[in-house]
Structure 1
Amino acid sequence: MAKRVLILLDGLVRTSLLYVQAARALNLHPIILSSDPDQYDYLAAESIEAIRVDTDDLDALISECSRLGASYDIAGITCAGDSFYATVGKLCRYFDLPGPNAASIERCCDKFSQRQLLAEAGVSIPAYRLATDAADAKSSAAEIGLPVIVKPAVGIGSSGVRLCRDVDELTEHTTHLLGGGHIWRSSPRILVEEFAQGPQYGANTMGNAVIAIGSAEYGPPPHFVYREWNVPAQLTDYARESIADVSLSCLRALGLGWGPTNIELRWTKRGPVVIEVNPRLAGGPTTRLVQLAYGVDLATQHIKLAIGDECDLRIRHSHTAAARFLVADRDGILQRIDGDGRAAAISGVAEVRMYAEPNTPIVRKGDARDCIGHVIATSPSHDRTKAILQRAIDLIDWSITPFPAVGEHE
């Protein structure tokens, strides 16, 4: 009998490992198709098969999957991110496998199209305008009113997202995005949006079910780098129901009733305002937090959907879980990291993970790439979880030495 395989397209690197581990637990053989397999630094340690293929070329992917199908039983095809999730949908349709609607994913991943569809459905969103040059951005900001959020119309991980508080910051950031400071996967288009102010929340869904609602904290503006995530969020029954209702409205408006979605919102003076809908599991450790808090492994359940099995979304317990990110505070060379082993040994600490090794160059981007690690803690109560997390964080120390000045010799 041919070995059953799960084909994984390029995705969020750290989340892809969750899918690999979940696939193996389901007795599936994971194979990664990637244009750059070297980005998955855990391949050798996990003995994962990876094949280099142009993931922007649908015909090349069909050819590779057909070749694999001659030797294996392809149980399913999926992806841990949204950059290639529409391609997953096309492959699933070609090979008659369960998968997402490619057209819905493509519309959702274009943030301007997403905004239009949500607005048409009456979902509360920030005021927004589309800009293709600095003049457009300036006039859009004047219409909306400063401060504004300026970001690429297509992108992930808060890359290129910035709060612009005055015209000078707006001009500077627009010039940066359009002048070569940002890598565009499509034609350069910028969204200028109202700055919706209020606490940040995230709803994690599978199919048409809201599984968990978490709360987030950012570092200082003008960037939006996560510092902490908590699951579940501390909410009133009214707020929880409001966020769940608007999340389901987003799914209906965008045609996303299959697979995972995470929806970012802010609670403002007018209630929940949708910042972004992502047709995938949340990045970073959020999936792990949901599992610790409720006993629901979203990566496993997504794979079950992808291979045609029935998923099980029953909540098994009710704990709290929190993640704190370790964020680089300067550019330079990461010389050392101390205390992570002691932090991991604390009762209630579920995970300590470092993303960077000593002697790694650090160049901050103002997005998720500035994080050099995270710590996860869990317990039956919110306050206890926060105390465990703080105790662990206090044990970890690192040093970053500045880059040598130009012309400076050792």
Structure 2
Amino acid sequence: MNEQASGATVAIVDPVSGGKFLASEFARRGWSAVAVLSRPTLPEFYTAQLCPDDFLDVIQADGDVDEVLARLAAYQVRAVLPGAETGVALADELAERLCLVGNGTALSAHRRDKYLMMDVLAAKGIPVPESGSFDTAADLVAWTEAGPGWPVVIKPRRSCGTDSVYFCQDAERARAAVAAIVGQINVIGELNDSVCVQRLVTGDQYFVNTISRAGRHSVCEIWQDRKRALPGRSLVYDIEELVPYGVGPTRELVSYVKSVLDALALTEGPAHTEVMWTAEGPMLIELNARVQGSIITEPVTAALGHNHVTRTVDAVTDPDSFLATVDEPYHAARRLRAVSLIAPDDGQIGDPSLLCTELIPTFAGVMGDVRAGRPVQRTVDLFSSPGCVYLLADTDEEIERDTARIRAIERDGLYAPR
């Protein structure tokens, strides 16, 4: 581990997923970092991303917050941030106990639990899909048939990445979904003791990345998020498209998302908020009180001049400058698209060299392990996708051309049987 640099230190709770980029960005500003692991049972796909050399110390919480605080007392901790979804609640608690800037713990659970989130927003008059929470299929079916009716979406209350999201057209499918979720450990290692059920809303889906400071919210970027629905089951990530500010419903989305942030008392730090633009207007899918999980920072910076991580660090290390620009709209200088890889069957990576600028001229990077021979499974959700290819271009035509080339490469050469 690195020796402590002079100056301030940030504590990052579960510095994995998109949060794995935070420590190095803080280091560029002269800050040191301490890693706090929220529990010893973090899933392997998270812990494999941890880079201990980025930190002065790696502290295992193990359920004892007082011990974590005692360990942090050795450092000049001036900020606490979550790195991943699993770190949100502990980051709130540590910041509160250390009397640092933070979102507090009063609504901490509501910023993670999909049902509680919808419940508090509905109580404040913010449009959201009708939602319920149940641990038995019988109660869920009765609520649905007496209320919103079919179809509905059923999912774990505290998970992420389209884990176990079911689209149910009738009671039979709903019973199967509840049986598949309740009592199971979800992808981030937590027990699903109940489900969240919501009226299915349809339209164009977006996600809005924001950073907040002192209750003011800066919109870092807005993406249109296109997913494919598998029959009766989960969503597969397909395409994410950076939307220039002012195009389509972006201004209305910004207003809506800011109202969601205010209602959930998210006054500090990053958020990744998913919204469906429906015939009724914007409807929240879910809010995540941390940086975007799946990201390559370089292409985003090339298009925008910043990314969700750099702006998050700006707000912590130089709040005055951040607040001076907090209301400025972002400017997309280039087109940017992220194309998720979708493996049709179990197998392995065949020829990753096909993902290159010679065959894909707008290729700007690939996220994920696409080494030849690496096992892959049939893609059914975010976590089973082999990776994601970023395309950066000056025109929409170039982006569309190279998206088609990626899908052709997937059909012929990228995957191979085991």
TM-score (norm: length of structure 2): 0.83
Separation (CA, whole Å) in 2 of partners of 1:40 and 1:358: 23
Q: 1:241 aligns with which of 251, 261, 267?
A: 251
When the two chains are superposed, the root-mean-square deviation of aligned CA atoms in Å is 3.0
Task: Specify every segment of 5 or more residues in structure 1 that has no aligned partner in the other structure, as ranges.
Answer: 403-410
Question: Does the CA contact (< 8 Å) of 1:126 and 1:193 recur in 2?
Answer: yes
1:81-114 Cα deviation digits (max 9, x unpaired): 2322221122123333333323333222121221
Whether 2:84 is the aligned partner of 1:81: answer yes
Do residues 196 (structure 1) and 201 (structure 2) align? yes
Give 1:172 deviation, angstroms.
1.2
Question: Is the deviation greater in 169-178 or in 345-354?
Answer: 345-354
Answer yes or no: is the 8 Å Cα contact 2:186–2:192 preserved in 1: no
Question: Deviation of residue 150 (structure 1)?
Answer: 0.3
Which of 283, 290, 310 aligns to 2:293? It is 283
Which residue matches 2:64? 57
Question: What is the SS of the residue equivalent to 1:339?
Answer: helix
Distance in 1, Cα, partners of 2:359 & 2:12: 33
Residue number in structure 1 paired with 2:400: 386
The one-letter code of the counterpart of 1:189 is S
Say which SS state the counterpart of residue 414 (structure 2) adopts: strand
Counterpart position of 1:185: 190
Question: Which residue number in structure 1 is paired with residue 338 of structure 2?
Answer: 323
**1:37–1:51 CA contact under 8 A, matched in 2:** no
1:98, 1:305 within 8 Å by CA — same for their partners in 2? no
Indicate if the aligned counterparts of 1:334 and 1:357 stay in contact, CA closer than 8 A: no
- Letter of the 1:336 partner, please give it: G
Q: Structure 1 length as normaliser, TM-score?
A: 0.84
* Alignment correspondent of 1:406: none
Separation of aligned partners in 2, 1:289 and 1:125: 33
For 2:14, give the aligned amino acid.
Answer: D
Equivalent pair of 1:78/1:303 in contact (CA under 8 Å):
no
Aligned partners of 1:151 and 1:160 also within 8 Å: yes
When residues 293 and 120 of structure 1 are mapped into structure 2, their CA distance, relative to the original with a 3 A threshold, is farther
For 1:7 and 1:234, how far apart are their aligned partners in 2?
33
2:102 is equivalent to residue 99 of structure 1: yes
- Following TM superposition, by how much is the alpha carbon of 1:362 offset from its aligned partner in structure 2, in angstroms? 4.0
Asked if 1:229 corresponds to 2:236, the answer is no
The answer to whether the aligner puts 1:149 opposite 2:153 as a matched pair is yes
Q: State the match for 1:349 in structure 2.
A: 363
Deviation at 1:186, TM superposition (A): 5.5
Query: C-alpha displacement at 1:149, in angstroms?
Result: 0.2
Where structure 2 has 5 or more consecutive residues not aligned to the other structure, the ranges are none
Alignment match, 2:306: 296
Deviations along 1:269-307, whole A, 9 cap, x unmatched? 212212112212222128666534321222122123334
Conserved? CA contact 1:10–1:32, under 8 Å: yes
Contact 1:336 1:399 in 2 (8 A): yes
Percent identical pairs in the alignment equals 19
More divergent stretch after superposition (388-397 vs 191-200): 388-397
State the distance in 2 between where 1:306 and 1:190 align. 35
Equivalent residues of 1:86, 1:103 under 8 A apart:
no
8 A Cα contact 2:357 2:363, kept in partner: yes
Counterpart contact for 2:133–2:197, Cα < 8 Å: yes
Aligned-partner Cα distance in 2 for 1:6–1:181: 31
Structure 1 residues 57 and 355, CA gap change in structure 2 (3 angstroms): farther
Q: 1:134 pairs with 97, 114, 137, which one?
A: 137
Q: State the alpha-carbon separation in 2 of the partners of residues 81 and 98 from structure 1.
A: 19
* Contact map agreement 2:272 2:292 (CA 8 A) in 1: yes
Count of residue correspondences: 394
Comparing 269-278 and 2-11, the one that deviates more: 2-11
